[in-house]
Amino acid sequence: MSVFESMPPVPRAPHLLKAVPAGPALAFAPHPDDEIAGPGGALALHRLAGDAVAVVVATDGKAGDPDGRYDPLTYPQRRRDESRRGLAELGVHDVAFWGFPDSCQLSAKDLELATQHAVRALQAARPRVVYVPWALEGHPDHHALHHTVVQALDRVGFDGLALGYEVWNAMLPDLVLDVTSVIEQKQKAMLCYESQTAYVAYDHCVRGLNAYRSLVHGRGRGYWEAYCVVRGTVPPSR
């Protein structure tokens, strides 16, 4: 066998999704801000299409102030308020906060508790589209939330479409979604997370990632979000 015959196959170009899949959507975010940084454009498009959108934020985000710039007693509430303001920029007002500790070593018991919370969120929202961090996100909280939500999807017999989104690690996407029409909304929403942009220009990084994702189908123009399919099949664009 030659070295060329043993080469892995060339990755397929991502599917072009011209509009968000129809139906109620539920987004799972590890920290207050991931709901915008990852699928924020998609959530805005769901709302513009008239879809119900619910968001769950798993942790209190308390580890997001490493220099101690803010009062630790009020910091979790600050993070929740930022999340509400950011989501409101997208027209989303249904958000729940689990309040789990941020950036902790998780036990099997912890993961089971989070899975039970995810099951209840799925049963309450009855979504047709679910957004969750993709499997190889580099942050441990992102990775853990992916694991627990996938377990919950199986437990409830979810038969819709679950899509993995990227924040910390770029993926080889199954599909890309054009979010150019709502990128200014997404940018404005990201700027609501002042406690986080005080440390990192997340708005700049996220916008850059979305610009890069225009490379394949957008000819390098506009802004796109990338996703991988976690459960289900991608339906035709509406």
User: Over the stretch 35-54, which tens digit does the pLDDT of each residue have?
Assistant: 999 999 999 999 999 999 99
Q: What SS3 state is found at 35?
A: helix
Q: Residue 110's pLDDT band (boundaries 50, 70, 90)?
A: confident
Residue 5 included in any domain? no
Has residue 236 been placed in a domain?
Answer: no
Domain contains 179: yes
Containing domain of residue 209, as a range? 15-231
pLDDT tens-digit readout, 216-237? 999 999 999 999 999 998 866 5
- At CA 219, angle to CA 213 and CA 220, rounded to 5? 50
Q: CB under 8 Å to 5, separation ≥6 — which residues?
A: none
Residue 2 pLDDT > 70: no
Q: What average pLDDT does range 92-96 have in this prediction?
A: 97
- Dihedral, CA of residue 181, residue 166, residue 62 and residue 200, to nearest 10: -70
CATH of the domain at 206: 3.40.50.10320
- pLDDT tens-digit profile of 111-137? 898 999 999 999 999 999 999 999 999
% of the chain surpassing 70 pLDDT: 96
Write down the pLDDT at residue 3.
60
Mean pLDDT computed over 71-93: 96
Say how many CA atoms lie within 13 Å of 69 toward its Cβ.
Answer: 12
Provide the pLDDT for residue 25. Answer: 98
Mean pLDDT, the chain, whole residue set: 93
70 located within any domain: yes
Asked if residue 10 belongs to a domain, the reply is no
> Per-residue confidence at 198, pLDDT binned at 50, 70, 90?
very high
Does residue 171 fall inside a structural domain?
yes
Distance CA 92, CA 85 (A): 9
| Element housing 75 (H / E) | helix 75-89
- Residue 1, domain member (yes or no): no
How many structural domains comprise the chain? 1
Q: Looking up tokens 């985000």, which residue turns up? A: 61
Residue type, 33: D
Domain for residue 217, yes or no?
yes
Long-range contacts of range 19-22, CB-CB < 8 Å, 24 or more positions apart?
19/45, 19/49, 19/237, 19/238, 20/45, 20/46, 20/49, 20/51, 20/129, 20/177, 21/128, 21/129, 21/161, 21/234, 21/235, 21/238, 22/49, 22/51, 22/128, 22/235, 22/238
